[in-house]
């Protein structure tokens, strides 16, 4: 994967903005005006009652999520989105335990006092169907069966995509997939094209697998998806998960910000989550907490 275009240090040095906040800190941006909207972002909690594997500390994610949601409530933000891989699985994998892990991390996420939204990740269907996952979470104001959907808030339009499909258009289901082969099928592409055409608002997109590359972490038909986003002339940014190290790129005027994963590391300082502020001029200021990277996404 390509590295961050600018390191956190370079970004802060160039901007002249100071540090404040938790652990590694969050930059205190001296904005000339209040944002039109701020929303919370978290990804790859991978919660499970399972032993750690390398840097993946599954049990720690409930505590980390509790910290994240407490900050989101304190700010407060308009809504919170989790970008997929909300839960993981036990050993041996089983539906019953996976549903218990999902219930536990959703309980922590539900502490947010406002609208909440989920993006499906590949691990969300490792031992479950999409229908099972969606039946045990809440996407505020969205039909329970919808794995991809859109909503409006504060004059902006938000699109949630589902890339958890096989090449033949079949759903990821109970582990029946290869995680390196993610697709957005024709039916969803048609829906996306119509959804973008139907709104006059500026658009922000959320997806789990990446749309800004061609390696194993990326949606296989990402160029088709990007073409629709670019052709609309309405999309400011895409927020992604899946690639735990995080990254950033800009393609044809659209920002692609990949948030660092919550799962990695056991201590509070190794948490990761962010707040995005959308300003009237089209700039988006991403403030990263703990290990998450801060980035200024300037409108072209």
Superfamily, domain 39-264: Metallo-dependent phosphatases (3.60.21.10)
Contacts of residue 230, defined as CB under 8 A and 6 or more positions apart, other chains included, come to: 251, 252, 253, 254
How many C-beta atoms lie closer than 10 Å to residue 123's C-beta? Answer: 27
- The per-residue pLDDT for 11 is 35
- The per-residue pLDDT for 2 is 41
Tell me what the pLDDT averaged over the chain comes to.
90
Summarised one tens digit per residue, pLDDT across range 53-89 is 999 989 999 999 999 999 999 999 999 999 999 999 9
What gap in Å lies between CA 219 and CA 165, rounded to an integer? 10
- The per-residue pLDDT for 33 is 58
List the domain boundaries for the chain. 39-264
- The per-residue pLDDT for 71 is 97
- The per-residue pLDDT for 9 is 38
Query: Which candidate, 141, 138, 134, 137, places its Cα nearest to that of 162?
Result: 134
Query: Which candidate, 77, 58, 56, places its Cα nearest to that of 68?
Result: 77
Angle value at C-alpha 109, between 106 and 110, nearest 5 degrees: 85
Summarised one tens digit per residue, pLDDT across range 211-261 is 999 999 999 999 999 999 999 999 999 999 999 999 999 999 999 999 999
What gap in Å lies between CA 2 and CA 282, rounded to an integer? 25
Q: Which residues of the chain have pLDDT under 70?
A: 1-34
Residue 12: its H or E element: helix 8-15
3-class DSSP assignment, residue 228: helix
**Strand 26-28 with 18-20, pairing:** antiparallel
């Amino acid at each position: 994967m390509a590295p961050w275009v600018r390191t956190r240090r370079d970004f802060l040095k160039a901007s002249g903005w100071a540090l404040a906040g938790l652990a590694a800190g969050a930059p205190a941006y001296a904005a000339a005006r209040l944002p039109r909207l701020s929303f919370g972002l978290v990804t790859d909690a991978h919660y499970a009652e399972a032993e750690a594997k390398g840097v993946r500390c599954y049990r720690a994610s409930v505590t980390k999520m509790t910290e994240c949601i407490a900050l989101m409530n304190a700010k407060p933000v308009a809504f919170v989105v989790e970008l997929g891989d909300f839960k993981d699985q036990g050993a041996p994998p089983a539906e019953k335990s996976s549903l218990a892990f999902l219930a536990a991390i959703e309980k922590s996420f539900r502490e947010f006092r406002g609208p909440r939204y989920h993006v499906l990740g590949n691990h969300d269907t490792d031992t479950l169907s999409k229908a099972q996952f969606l039946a045990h979470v809440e996407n505020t104001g969205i039909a329970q069966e919808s794995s991809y959907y859109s909503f409006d808030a504060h004059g902006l339009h938000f699109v949630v995509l589902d890339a958890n499909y096989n090449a033949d258009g079949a759903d990821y289901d109970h582990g029946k997939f290869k995680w390196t082969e993610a697709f957005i099928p024709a039916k969803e592409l048609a829906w996306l094209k119509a959804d973008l055409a139907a709104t006059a608002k500026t658009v922000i997109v959320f997806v789990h697998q990446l749309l800004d590359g061609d390696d194993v972490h990326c949606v296989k038909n990402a160029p088709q998806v990007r073409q629709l986003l670019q052709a609309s002339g309405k999309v400011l940014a895409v927020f992604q998960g899946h690639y735990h190290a995080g990254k950033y790129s800009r393609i044809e005027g659209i920002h692609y910000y990949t948030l660092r994963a919550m799962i990695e590391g056991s201590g509070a300082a190794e948490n990761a989550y962010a707040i995005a502020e959308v300003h009237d001029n089209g700039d988006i200021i991403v403030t990263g907490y703990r290990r998450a990277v801060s980035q200024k996404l300037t409108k072209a």
